[in-house]
Structures are given as C-alpha cells and as structure tokens.
Homo-oligomer: A and B are copies of this chain.
C-alpha cells in the first residue's frame, strides 16, 4: 500500500515536472516566435505626456536598479514611449532623415545611442536646423555626423532606420509640439523591401549632401 502511494506520488511529481517543462517550452516558443515575427506597428499622435527617464536609464545601464523620477508625469505605455523603445533597440546603426528635430527627449535617446557606440548619422533641412530649439547643434557638439541640403526645396522626410533592419516613418516631425499636440502617424516596419528602398534613399541623400560637394560660387560657363 505504501509502495503504491509512493509510486502514485512519484507519478504525480513526474506529471507536475512534465507539465512545468511543457509550459516552459511553450513560453520559450512564444517568446522566440515574438522575437522572430517582424515588427508591424502603427503609432498615432498626439501622445499622452509621459516620463521616459526609466527607459533612458535602463538603456544607459541595463540591469541597474531603477531610480524613481521625481517628475509628476506617468511612465506608462504611450506612442512616444513606444517610439523611444524602438529607437533604443538600435545596436549597430541609426540613420536619421528628419526635416525638423527639436524634441529634447528624442535627442537624449539619440545621444545615448551614440555614446553606446551605435553609428548615428543625421540628414536634416538647412532652413530648419537653425531654428530656435533645434537639437541639431547639440547633436553635432556630441560628435554625431550631420549633413544638410543646400537647395531651396525642403528636406522634408521624417524617417529613421534602425540597424538597417527597421524602418520608422510617417508624418511626425521630431518636435514636442508634433508629439504632444498634432494629429500624426508613424509606421514601424521590419520589412526588407521597404527598408532597402529607404536605406538607398538615405545613402543617395547622404552622398549628395557631402560637404565635399558644396558649391559656394556659381561655376563658370
């Protein structure tokens, strides 16, 4: 009788262990599938105001104990926090092609990536880069490569490419006004075809705006 009870108990323990192993395997498979599934996300703005200090701190020192931010803003899930998370996922490169860049929070995220060794390149518009509040000077000071147009039309793109793998594009200029007050959209897509088209456009513009090609005087006929 005791032997049978022991066998039953051993069977139950084996069953529990098997069930736990199966649950772990399913959880791992779901996590792997989530990682493998290409990102397809649409963000709409205006975004609720939110604090992104915890995101930046975690990106600066992964695993460090969280220090609570004294600001009164919530740190929930918003369009802005999602955008920042996508940017902070960069490991090797971040190519930015932005008409207007005056949002200090996004500039801090970009600087943090630069400090972490991510190769950041920024193409922007000559007429907007000098406006009050522009973050372009600050990024240049930090050692980030910046190039701009030299013609009368606007460099009006608003896209970013993370690790030559993820495209972030839409109507959103990287300004606090746009993020907090405007109706805007941003698509986040991990799709080789779209990424290639935009990466090629970035490289074309990067080369065209190379300062070595500047013309300061009209050429002689």
**Interface residues, chain A, with chain B CB atoms under 8 Å away:** 40, 42, 44, 46, 99, 149, 152-159, 169-172, 177-178, 180-185, 187, 193-194, 197-198, 201, 205
Contacts and interface: CB of A to CB of B under 8 A. Distances in A.
B205 A183 contact: yes
B171 A183 contact: no
23 contacts: A40-B194, A42-B198, A44-B201, A46-B153, A149-B183, A152-B181, A153-B183, A154-B178, A154-B181, A154-B182, A156-B172, A156-B178, A156-B182, A156-B183, A156-B184, A157-B171, A157-B184, A157-B185, A169-B185, A169-B187, A170-B170, A170-B171, A183-B205
Main secondary structure on A side of the interface with B? mixed
B187 A187 contact: yes
Contact of A171 (B40, B42, B153, B156): B156
A183 B99 CA distance: 9
Closest 5 CB pairs of A and B: A153-B181, A42-B197, A156-B182, A154-B182, A153-B182
A212 to B, nearest CB: 20
A160 to B, nearest CB: 12
Contacts of A178: 154, 156
A149 B182 CA distance: 10
Contacts of A172: 156
Contact of A182 (B155, B185, B193): B155
Contacts of A154: 178, 181-183
A185 B159 contact: yes
Given A44-B201, A156-B171, 8 more contacts: A40-B194, A99-B171, A153-B183, A154-B182, A154-B183, A157-B183, A169-B170, A170-B171
